Amino acid sequence: MKIYSQRLCLEPLQPAHAELLFEGLQSASIYDFIEDVPPKSIESLRDRYMVLADRQSPDGTEIWLNWAVWSFVERCYVGYVQATITVENSAILGYVFFPNFWGKGYAREAVSCMISYLVETYQNLDFCADVNIQNHRSIALLHNLGFVRSTYLQNIESHQDEFKHEVLYRKR
Ligand SMILES: CC(C)(COP(=O)(O)OP(=O)(O)OC[C@H]1O[C@@H](n2cnc3c(N)ncnc32)[C@H](O)[C@@H]1OP(=O)(O)O)[C@@H](O)C(=O)NCCC(=O)NCCS
């Protein structure tokens, strides 16, 4: 189901979005603070979106929700938002917007719209997001949305001492 806000339409992510988002996802600055890389090809992105279009983890324990974000103002896709709902009822939020469209409030509008939808659709979610401590734009966004800083985490997997995260929890 598509979700609408004042300037945006959140479209459930489908494999067909791969060629529409591919170019925007090439901007290097998107990846300054997230552990991801630009997709290598439209085909590889389509394969990834094929998995995500199932809207659940392969083992069925988590709900994986992703939306491509279309702007009626820009008349193009400006990024995507995502929520992973765990068995503990945490909704772990993620969001990526293309740098050309930063500073226009689209991330705030889209994430806020996603949260409203999730609150209406699921019971008692505990909203949270992992964010790199140097990712000031993302931290500002989270503060604007009512998140407060919670646990400090070190990213064990990457073994990169400089790559540390905070976890910010939104009040229930
Ligand atoms: C994190 C990210 C989504 C933030 O994007 P953003 O555009 O800065 O976020 P917002 O939508 O909250 O926009 C806020 C800015 O828009 C401005 N703005 C303009 N019009 C606005 C409107 N109608 N409503 C609200 N804000 C508006 C605000 O004043 C603010 O400006 P500022 O950046 O000069 O302070 C973006 O930097 C990004 O995609 N980064 C790469 C991926 C990433 O790191 N993801 C997060 C992982 S934790």
Ligand 1 atom showing the smallest separation from residue 111 Cα: 11
- Is position 142 within any domain? no
- C-alpha pair distances (Å), 93 with each of 20, 43, 74, 82: 22, 25, 24, 6
* Residue at 167 is within a domain: no
Query: Mapping DSSP to helix (H, G, I), strand (E, B) and coil, where does residue 150 land?
Result: strand
Atom of ligand 1 nearest to the CA of 140: 12
* 107 part of a folded domain: yes
**Residue 134 belongs to a domain:** no
Residue 145 CA to ligand 1 centre (angstroms):
11
Residue 45: enclosing H or E segment and its boundaries?
helix 42-52
Q: Examine the pLDDT at 158 and tell me if it is beyond 60.
A: no
Residue 162 lies in a domain: no
Q: What digits encode the pLDDT tens for the residues 116-156?
A: 999 999 999 999 998 888 899 999 999 999 998 887 665 55
- Whole-number pLDDT of residue 134: 87
Question: Rounded distance, CA 150 to CA 102, Å?
Answer: 26
Residue 117 lies in a domain: yes
154 strand-pairing partners: 164
pLDDT in the model for residue 167: 60
Mutate to test the pocket of ligand 1, among 97, 142, 149 (most ligand atoms within 8 A of CB): 97
Domain annotation covers residue 135:
no
DSSP string computed for 1-31: --EE-SSEEEEE--GGGHHHHTTGGG-GGGG
CA–CA gap between residue 30 and residue 93 (Å, rounded) = 16
Name all residues whose Cβ lies below 6 A of ligand 1.
30, 33-34, 95-97, 102-108, 129, 131, 135, 137-138, 141, 144
Q: Is residue 172 part of a domain?
A: no
Minimal-distance CA residue to ligand 1 atom 32: 103
CB atoms within 10 A of CB 72: 11
Instruction: Quote the strand ranges of the chain, DSSP E.
Output: 3-4, 8-12, 63-71, 76-85, 90-97, 126-132, 147-154, 164-170
How many domains, in total, are found in the chain?
A: 1
- Residue 21 domain boundaries: 3-127
* pLDDT tens by residue, 1-50: 999 999 999 999 999 999 999 999 999 999 999 989 999 999 999 999 99
Return the CATH number at 64.
Answer: 3.40.630.30
